[in-house]
Amino acid sequence: MKQVTTMLMLFIFAFRLSAQSPEPKAKDVDSMDHIIAALYDVISGPKGEKRDWDRMRSLFHENAKLIPTGKNQQGEIQIRYWTVDDYITTAGAGLERDGFFEVETHRVVEDYGTITHVFSTYDSRRNLSDEKPFARGINSIQLLKDDHRWYILNVTWMGENAAYPLPKKYLTK
């Protein structure tokens, strides 16, 4: 019985280690500006370019969620809750296949103590040289600052559409 218990404990310990995020680049997580820049950078790249998904995992708290929102074709509000790995599995192949560049164009920040909320307006393009974005929207990013680094807790986003144009207060000034 003791041997089975010891083996079970080792399995649980190994599982916890494998579930932890990769070690982040210090420069990615040392400031709010750097972690947001790293978030946009890691999902962006030309058609056919692999993304550094371990880098993306390293930016997020282990319990973080990515939450796309909007209306479906029937006009109903739709919300999905993805882990970082769900996002990579669901969206990653398309980003790499088609090319995708998301650029922050405006930011509004509110913070208190260890928490920070960022409303980050974005433009999305297939190529950086595209004259106009194919999409715009807002990422609502919740961050946590501990004694050592910044973490992304959640990213909730909604793309602009006819029913919800981007308000002027969230556009570049």
99 pLDDT above the threshold of 60:
yes
What pLDDT, in 10s, does the model give residues 36-58?
999 999 999 999 999 999 999 99
What pLDDT is stored for residue 75 in this prediction? Answer: 85
Q: Which residue has the tokens 């970082």?
A: 84
More confident residue, 126 or 17: 126
What pLDDT is stored for residue 3 in this prediction? Answer: 54
What pLDDT is stored for residue 12 in this prediction? Answer: 43
Residue 43 contacts residue 102 (beta carbons within 8 Å): yes
Q: Which residue has the tokens 């433009």?
A: 123
Taking the C-alpha atoms of residue 162 and residue 73, their distance in angstroms, rounded to an integer, is 13
**Closest alpha carbon to 118 in 156, 146, 165, 61:** 156
Mean pLDDT of the chain: 90
What pLDDT is stored for residue 1 in this prediction? Answer: 52
Q: What CATH architecture is 32-170? A: Roll (3.10)
Percent of the chain at pLDDT > 70 equals 88
Q: For the chain, which residues make up each domain, given as ranges?
A: 32-170
For the chain, give the number of residues: 173
